[in-house]
């Protein structure tokens, strides 16, 4: 089916599903959509109190309790889903099948099979399915891309991604395995999306590791029967010989410095939340360390690109296929951890 397009940005009427209070993401999305020139018209939310907040934030906005009502009663053209992870696939499918463009908050879905169904449904309906990878344009990854392109690191050998420390998980849905997908599905998706910008070779194999039960066994923990892993890891092998290690932990009392380390043949680039440093060997055991603050992020480019795609035929940056790549890694890692063996990638 041919893609549904628009003559100008304001003609794209937009809505959000989910107006939660944890990070006020619904407000952020509607403001960014508006800044990109689109017209916010509706909010869907199960919690009436949050709908009240939406009406205060955006006076005159239509509000609905369900996606069914939104699709039946409004002329919305693009819907962004900002709900807990296990609901993304079904809501996205419903919206795409109704012929509306759909943006899913990350993660796109929990399994590769769900991503495939979404991509197929969107293609058949002539609509976009994208994922809100606003962090594609975080300052530190924009800079890392520049450093890699400059040749300063030589060839990338490995990327290490790690987050977390020793600490009890929160009492929120993010700590439930069946709702969140697992401990790797929150920040892990962003970290993988950064890395896949730098290692572009096909994925050949994923090994997953998990430690379970420590926090689930603590008194009062609300997800005792359905808790995330205490720590999980994915090791990804690429056809180029490169590899990537992702670890998210609630158990490590002595975590390493930095959340992303890019080891190259000529230098190593380490990124932490404040700055990035490139360490280059100078011979005789000496090194030169260049430290730089992160440039400003450009997350607003996400919706600007969606608008440019729908009004001016510019290429979509975050395609469904792109958003599926980190999910394929996470899906394989979870199954590999359960089965206790490495699993081959189906999609490179
Ligand atoms: N890109 C980012 O930087 C970023 C930052 C924060 C959160 N997120 C993502 O945003 C999503 C939501 O996270 P959050 O922290 O805003 O959660 P939240 O719990 O604050 O909000 C979720 C809201 O969705 C509502 N909801 C659930 N099912 C619904 C349905 N079927 N129809 C309508 N409303 C429904 C809930 O009532 C709740 O208010 C997650 O995918 C999360 O990973 C992304």
Helix (H, G, I), strand (E, B) or coil at 41: strand
C-alpha distances in angstroms, 99 versus 85, 208, 262, 343?
22, 37, 41, 36
Based on the fold, state whether residues 103 and 160 are members of the same structural domain: no
C-alpha distances in angstroms, 264 versus 83, 108, 126, 181, 195?
38, 30, 42, 32, 13
Residues contacting residue 315 through CB under 8 Å, at least 6 positions apart = 309
Chain segment 224-243, per-residue pLDDT in tens: 889 999 999 999 999 999 99
Give the pLDDT mean for 119-143.
98
Assess whether the C-beta atom of 132 lies below 6 angstroms from ligand 1: yes
Assess whether the C-beta atom of 83 lies below 6 angstroms from ligand 1: yes
Does residue 320 form part of some domain? no
The model's confidence at residue 323, banded by pLDDT at 50, 70 and 90, is very high
Chain segment 158-210, per-residue pLDDT in tens: 999 999 999 999 999 999 999 999 999 999 999 999 999 999 999 999 999 99
Does residue 112 form part of some domain? yes
CA of 82 to the centre of ligand 1 (A): 4
Does residue 317 form part of some domain? no
Based on the fold, state whether residues 25 and 142 are members of the same structural domain: no
Based on the fold, state whether residues 41 and 188 are members of the same structural domain: no
Q: What is the mean pLDDT of the chain?
A: 97
Structural domains counted in the chain: 2
Based on the fold, state whether residues 121 and 210 are members of the same structural domain: no
Residues 101, 279: contact at Cβ < 8 Å? Answer: no
Does residue 254 form part of some domain? yes
Mutate to test the pocket of ligand 1, among 27, 84, 189 (most ligand atoms within 8 A of CB): 84
Stated length of the chain: 348
Does residue 309 form part of some domain? no
The model's confidence at residue 246, banded by pLDDT at 50, 70 and 90, is very high
Based on the fold, state whether residues 160 and 96 are members of the same structural domain: no
Edge-to-edge strand order for the sheet containing 62-64? Answer: 62-64, 39-44, 13-17, 78-81, 101-104, 129-131
Mutate to test the pocket of ligand 1, among 23, 133, 186 (most ligand atoms within 8 A of CB): 23
Tell me the pairing of strands 39-44 and 13-17. Answer: parallel
Instruction: Report the interhelical angle of 320-339 vs 187-198 (nearest 10°).
Output: 110
Residues 348, 324: contact at Cβ < 8 Å? Answer: no
The model's confidence at residue 220, banded by pLDDT at 50, 70 and 90, is confident
Residue 156 structural domain: 138-297+328-344
Does residue 2 form part of some domain? no
Q: Count the neighbouring beta carbons within 10 Å of the beta carbon of residue 115.
A: 29
Pair of tokens at residue 320: 């469904």
- 156, β-bridge pairs: 264
The model's confidence at residue 1, banded by pLDDT at 50, 70 and 90, is confident
The model's confidence at residue 222, banded by pLDDT at 50, 70 and 90, is confident
Instruction: Supply the pLDDT for residue 347.
Output: 74
DSSP string, 172-222: SGGGBHHHH-SGGGSHHHHHHHHHHHH--SPEEEEEEEEE-STTTTSTT-T
DSSP string, 56-103: HHSTT-EEESSHHHHHHH----EEEE-S-GGGHHHHHHHHHHTT-EEE
Backbone dihedral region of 206: left (phi > 0), alpha (psi from -120 to 50 degrees) or beta? beta
Residues 333, 206: contact at Cβ < 8 Å? Answer: yes
Does residue 307 form part of some domain? no
Mutate to test the pocket of ligand 1, among 15, 24, 25 (most ligand atoms within 8 A of CB): 25
Instruction: Supply the pLDDT for residue 225.
Output: 87
Single out the residue in 132, 151, 167 at which a domain terminates: 132
Single out the residue in 76, 104, 132 at which a domain terminates: 132
Does residue 69 form part of some domain? yes
- Specify the ligand 1 atom closest to the Cα of 172: 19
Based on the fold, state whether residues 193 and 124 are members of the same structural domain: no
Based on the fold, state whether residues 160 and 257 are members of the same structural domain: yes
Single out the residue in 68, 98, 132 at which a domain terminates: 132
CA dihedral 119, 122, 128, 129 (to 10 degrees): -40
Based on the fold, state whether residues 121 and 173 are members of the same structural domain: no
* Cα–Cα nearest to 281, from 158, 154, 162: 154
Pair of tokens at residue 20: 């939660």
The model's confidence at residue 313, banded by pLDDT at 50, 70 and 90, is very high
Based on the fold, state whether residues 277 and 167 are members of the same structural domain: yes
Based on the fold, state whether residues 145 and 121 are members of the same structural domain: no
CA dihedral 158, 184, 345, 153 (to 10 degrees): -20
Assess whether the C-beta atom of 138 lies below 6 angstroms from ligand 1: no
DSSP string, 2-40: PPP--SSGGG-EEEEE---SSS-HHHHHHHHHHHTT-EE
CA of 323 to the centre of ligand 1 (A): 18
Assess whether the C-beta atom of 190 lies below 6 angstroms from ligand 1: no
CA of 55 to the centre of ligand 1 (A): 18
Q: What CA–CA distance (Å, rounded) separates 230 from 119?
A: 32
Q: Which long-range contacts link 313-316 to residues 24+ away (Cβ below 8 Å)? A: 313/5, 316/128, 316/130
C-alpha distances in angstroms, 319 versus 10, 75, 104, 122?
22, 24, 11, 11
Assess whether the C-beta atom of 20 lies below 6 angstroms from ligand 1: yes
Based on the fold, state whether residues 126 and 263 are members of the same structural domain: no
Chain segment 61-108, per-residue pLDDT in tens: 999 999 999 999 999 999 999 999 999 999 999 999 999 999 999 999
Based on the fold, state whether residues 53 and 31 are members of the same structural domain: yes
CATH number for the domain that contains residue 53: 3.40.50.720
CATH number for the domain that contains residue 143: 3.30.360.10
Instruction: Supply the pLDDT for residue 348.
Output: 62
Degrees to nearest 5, angle at CA 11 with 5 and 14 = 90
The model's confidence at residue 52, banded by pLDDT at 50, 70 and 90, is very high
Chain segment 290-312, per-residue pLDDT in tens: 999 999 999 999 999 999 999 99
Instruction: Supply the pLDDT for residue 170.
Output: 93
Question: By alpha-carbon position, which residue is closest to atom 21 of ligand 1?
Answer: 20
């Amino acid at each position: 089916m041919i893609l549904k397009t628009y003559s100008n940005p304001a003609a794209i009427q937009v809505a959000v599903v989910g107006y939660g209070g944890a990070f006020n993401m619904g407000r952020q999305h509607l403001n960014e959509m508006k800044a990109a020139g689109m017209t916010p018209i509706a909010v869907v939310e199960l919690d009436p109190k949050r709908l009240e907040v939406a009406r205060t934030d955006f006076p005159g906005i239509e509000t609905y309790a369900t996606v069914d009502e939104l699709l039946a009663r409004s002329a919305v053209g693009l819907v962004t889903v900002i709900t807990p992870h296990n609901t993304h696939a079904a809501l996205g499918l419903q919206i795409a099948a109704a012929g509306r463009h759909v943006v899913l908050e990350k993660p796109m879905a929990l399994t590769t099979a769900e991503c495939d169904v979404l991509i197929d449904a969107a293609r058949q309906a002539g609509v976009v399915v994208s994922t809100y990878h606003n962090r594609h344009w975080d300052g530190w990854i924009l800079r890392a891309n520049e450093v890699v392109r400059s040749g300063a690191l030589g060839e990338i050998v490995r990327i290490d991604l790690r987050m977390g420390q020793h600490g009890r998980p929160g009492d929120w849905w993010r700590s439930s395995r069946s709702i969140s997908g697992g401990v790797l599905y929150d920040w892990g998706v962003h970290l993988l999306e950064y890395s896949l910008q730098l290692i572009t070779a096909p994925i050949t194999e994923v090994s997953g590791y998990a430690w379970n039960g420590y926090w689930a066994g603590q008194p009062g923990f609300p997800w005792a029967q359905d808790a995330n892993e205490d720590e999980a890891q994915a090791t990804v092998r690429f056809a180029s010989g490169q590899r990537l290690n992702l670890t998210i932990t609630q158990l490590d009392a002595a975590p390493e410095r930095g959340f992303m380390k890019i080891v190259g043949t000529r230098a190593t680039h380490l990124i932490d939340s404040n700055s990035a440093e490139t360490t280059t060997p100078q011979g005789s055991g000496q090194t030169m360390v260049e430290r730089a603050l992160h440039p400003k992020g450009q997350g607003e480019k996400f919706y600007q690109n969606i608008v440019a795609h729908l009004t001016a035929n510019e290429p979509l940056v975050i395609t469904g296929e792109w958003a599926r790549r980190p999910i394929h890694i996470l899906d394989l890692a979870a199954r590999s951890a359960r089965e206790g063996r490495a699993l081959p990638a189906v999609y490179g």
